[in-house]
Chain A
């Protein structure tokens, strides 16, 4: 659903209060990606909303909650090692592929499928990363849990090309499910950028019809609906752009 600027302005208070349904929220977030005036209004409204919880008195949770939180974080470390901290062949393949994609304007990727066999060593990876940092922006999403081994790179071409994700080694999913690509704002808000189904090819391109400039991270979940907030399992997630 595409909303006009005036329609979005009519929804910004509800957006700031988290009082929109999923369809309206997604439409507002789509608009915010390309409208600085509305983003400024949302930031101002956010300051007001942030004051509301100050009206309630603090409460102490049970003593065991602290242990639960720390145990969950400890388990998360074991389950989800930081993708950038270790060099992975799949990462190198994807980086090499998107460098080619950038060089070719993001087109004709199918012709590059043979590059799936590329294996770069650490030195080559660093050189590629350096080259990319001077060109388009990119995020790599590493699969986790049952999606370990799969991944994708969100590429925002330097020039006026459309952003897209180049996925590799996507896992099959249930017939009634779909992959959802999310862009994540600095305030933690998730905007659904695309839904797609795995093609069973080694590589798959998915276009992202949003301006990604105001987002800092991306992720992929498995969803049963085409719209609404993320509800399903997290399949892959990037670090923040530029870090």
Chain B
């Protein structure tokens, strides 16, 4: 078996023993979705690459924190990437859109989503998101991709905090049911 065919668990064992080859294979396997996610959140390639580098280094240092029973290696790496990208975004307070009009384009990246339809899982999730009422979908996308906290969304959208929470709750519940029905 060549390095590129090694299972994720084997690569994580490699990381634990400080094996750079294992890290390289993980990079080859997951850098593209990680970069895409960071780019989607931050909107520029340089910052997105910095986040991806930071995320891989965090995985390299914290490989022991991965738990197989909590999800896949892919999801773990994407979760690290998401959290770090959002943290970077939040530190750019002065550059963040502060009106709904300014962020709406970011919340509905039609070209990107159309491309994602080529991926079966992506298509299914996209359809589940698209099936949500616009208000619920926007709330979830602005939080996840826009890095807005619930309090910030309340201010941005001009609605009570309880409404933001309610939209998130119902939207997430519908997404969960939709995803369960696919399995």
Contacts and interface: CB of A to CB of B under 8 A. Distances in A.
B62 to A, nearest CB: 7
A65 B52 contact: yes
A65 B144 contact: no
Interface string B21-36: 0011001100111011
Nearest to A73: B60
Contact of B149 (A16, A20, A44): A20
Contacts of B140: 17, 52
Contacts of B165: 10-11, 13-14
B28 to A, nearest CB: 8
B61 A80 contact: yes
Contact of A61 (B45, B76, B126, B153): B45
A187 interface: yes
B125 A19 contact: no
Contacts of B83: 18, 188
Interface string A205-231: 000000000001100000000000100
Interface residues of A, number: 54
Interface in B9-68: 18, 20, 23-24, 27-28, 31-33, 35-37, 39-40, 45, 48-49, 52-53, 56-58, 60-62, 64-67
A123 interface: no
B101 interface: no
Contacts of A240: 64-65
A188 B82 contact: no
B144 A49 contact: yes
A72 interface: yes
Interface string A72-84: 1110110010100
B125 A73 contact: no
Contacts of B147: 18
Interface residues of B, number: 69
B176 interface: yes
Given A21-B151, A47-B176, A56 B122 contact: yes
Contact of A19 (B80, B148, B175): B148
A70 B20 contact: yes
A18 B38 CA distance: 14
Given A19-B168, A61-B35, A243-B64, A48 B176 contact: yes
B70 interface: yes
Given A50-B78, A54-B119, A61 B48 contact: yes
Contact of B52 (A52, A61, A70, A188): A61
B131 interface: no
Contacts of B32: 58-61
A159 interface: no
Contacts of A20: 149-150
B121 A54 contact: yes
B37 A69 contact: no
B129 interface: yes
A188 B53 contact: no
18 contacts: A11-B165, A14-B168, A21-B149, A45-B172, A49-B79, A50-B71, A52-B125, A53-B37, A55-B125, A57-B118, A58-B35, A69-B56, A70-B27, A72-B53, A73-B57, A73-B60, A187-B65, A217-B64
Given A18-B143, A69-B57, 4 more contacts: A14-B168, A45-B176, A56-B109, A60-B32
- The 6 residue pairs across chains A and B that have the minimum distance between CB atoms: A57-B115, A240-B64, A19-B143, A58-B32, A186-B67, A59-B36
Interface of B: 18, 20, 23-24, 27-28, 31-33, 35-37, 39-40, 45, 48-49, 52-53, 56-58, 60-62, 64-67, 70-71, 75-76, 78-80, 82-83, 86-87, 109, 112-113, 115-116, 118-119, 121-122, 125-126, 128-129, 140, 143-144, 147-151, 153, 165, 168-169, 172, 175-176, 179
